[in-house]
Structure 1
Amino acid sequence: MSDVWGRVDDYIVDKLVNEDEALAGALSANSAAGLRPIDVSAAQGKFLHLLVRMSGAKRILEIGTLGAYSTIWMAKALPAGGKVVTLEYDPHHAEVARGNIERAGLSGTIEVRVGAAADTLPVLAAEKPAPFDFVFIDADKPSNTIYLDWAIKLGRPGTVIVLDNVVRDGEVANAASTDPNVRGSRGAFELIANNPRLSATALQTVGGKGYDGFAVMILD
C-alpha cells in the first residue's frame, strides 16, 4: 500500500500544492546539509499553510524547526506584519534553517531561537509576548505534554494547536508499548482529553511519509 500512498501524494502535490522555489530549495539545502528527511510532506505543509490562513493567525509559535520547511509554509500564509517564532534544539539545524529563511525572503518574519525548547519556552514566556494565534508542535515526542502545556500558556481563546506525528504507525492505540515516542503520543492524548480548555480531534494520515497522523485542537 505504501507505493499507492506515495503515488497519490505525488498526484496531490502536482495538482494542488504548487511548491515554490523557496520551499523546494529548502528541502535541497536540508539534504545537502545532512539533515534527516523528516520534514512534513509538501501536502502537509500546504495544509498547515491553509490552516494558518483559515484561522486568521498573525502570530505563530513553532516548536521544532529542523530546516524551516514547515516554518516557511506557515510564514507565507501570514498577513503583513505577521510573525513566526520557531524553536530549534540543534545549532546546525538552526543555521541551515536561517539560510533557508533568508533565501525565502522571510528573515523579517521568522525568528529562530536555539536551545532545548523546555528551556527556551520559559524564557519566551518571561518576555510576556502577545499571545500566539497558532502553534505547531513537531519536536521530540517524549516531551509532547511539556510543549502542549506551554502552547496553552502562550495562547489565547481561539488559538489553534497542531501536534504532529501522534499515530506512530498505529502504535498509539497500543497501551502496552514501551516506545518513548508512543508513550509521548499517548501522554498528549491524555492531557488533551482531560483539559476542558481544549476541543480536539486527531486524524490518521498516509502518504509518502508513511502511516501517521496529527492532533488538531482549539483553545477555549
Structure 2
Amino acid sequence: MAEQPETYPITYGVLGLLAFGGSMSGYDLKQAFDCSLAPLWNATHSQIYNQLRRMLVLGWVEMERHEQESRPDKKVYQITQAGRAALGAWQTQQPVRGLQMRDEVLLRFIFGSFAEPQALAITLRAAIKDHEQRMELYRLTAQRLPPTPPGNGALAGQNTGSEPDPFFVELARFAIMFEETYLHWLQQAMAFVEARIASESHRTT
C-alpha cells in the first residue's frame, strides 16, 4: 500500500478556500490567500501547487483541464466529499500552539543597543509604512468577505447567500486590531529612538 502524503496547516488552508470558492485554479487560490488569509498565513505559488498535488493523491480534490487558446490548459480544482470530511476532521485534532511571531523588526529592536540609532530609525520608519499599507489592505478586504457556503458546518442552513461569513468577519476584525496595536507600538518605539538620537546629538555639540 502506497504511503499517504503528509498534511500541514497550509494543506487545510487550500482545502478551506476551495470549500468557499468552488472551482478554482492555482492562480485563483493564490489571489484568495493574498486577499483573505494574509493576516494569518502566507503561501507562495509553489506551495499551493504542492498542496494541490498532495490532495489529489489523497482524493480530497478533483482536477479538470480547461482548454485555452495559445496557452497551456488551465487546471481547475474542486473539493470532494472526502476533502470536506478531512476539513471537518482537522478541526477536531489536538490544538497546536497559537501565534508564533518571527519578526525581524522586533529582533533588530531588541538588540538596539548594538545599533546606530539612525539605522534603527530607518528600520522603524519602513515598518510603519509597511503596516500602514497592511492596515489599508485589511480594511478593504473586510468589505468583500465571502459568504458562508450553504449547508456547511456549524452554520448549516443559516446562509443567506449575501451575508459575509461570520468567521471571516471575526478574522478581519482581528487583523485590523492587530495592525492598530502594532502601529501604535511602532510609533512609540520611533519616539523612543528619536529621543535617543536627539540626546546623542546634544552630547556631541
Name the TM-score, length of structure 1 as normaliser: 0.23
Higher strand share: 1
The structure with more radius of gyration: 2
Name the TM-score, length of structure 2 as normaliser: 0.24
